[in-house]
């Protein structure tokens, strides 16, 4: 747990795959990705990375008016 916490402070973009490889290299202990994931979730550690932008307002096609609005 301590190694994972220290590595997260050093490299916050590391996810479970990179973190498990780091622990294996550092200690020689065989540790699986799922165990690392469980420990990270337990400690509240989450990899920081850019989120997907599936909807970009005013994208290449522009913003169209809502035609089905009821007008009184």
Is residue 10 scored above 70 in pLDDT? yes
Is residue 21 scored above 90 in pLDDT? yes
pLDDT of residue 59: 64
pLDDT band for position 60 (cuts 50, 70, 90)? low
Average the pLDDT over 3-11 and give the result.
Answer: 91
Say what percent of the chain tops pLDDT 90: 64
Average the pLDDT over 45-69 and give the result.
Answer: 78
Q: What mean pLDDT is reported for the chain? A: 87
- Helical pair 33-43 and 2-10, crossing angle rounded to 10 deg: 80
Q: What is the DSSP string of 8-67?
A: HHH-TT--HHHHHHHHHHHH-----HHHHHHHHHHHT-----PPP----TT-TT-----T
In our burial notation (b when 16+ CB lie closer than 10 A, e otherwise), range 17-36 reads eebbebbeeeeeeebeeeeb
């Amino acid at each position: 747990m301590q190694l994972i916490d220290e590595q997260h402070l050093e490299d916050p973009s590391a996810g479970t795959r990179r973190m498990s490889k780091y622990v294996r290299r550092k200690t020689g202990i065989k540790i699986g990705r799922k165990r690392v994931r469980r420990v990270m979730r337990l400690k509240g550690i989450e990899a920081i990375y850019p989120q997907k932008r599936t909807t970009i307002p005013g994208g290449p096609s522009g913003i169209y008016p809502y035609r089905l609005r009821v007008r009184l």
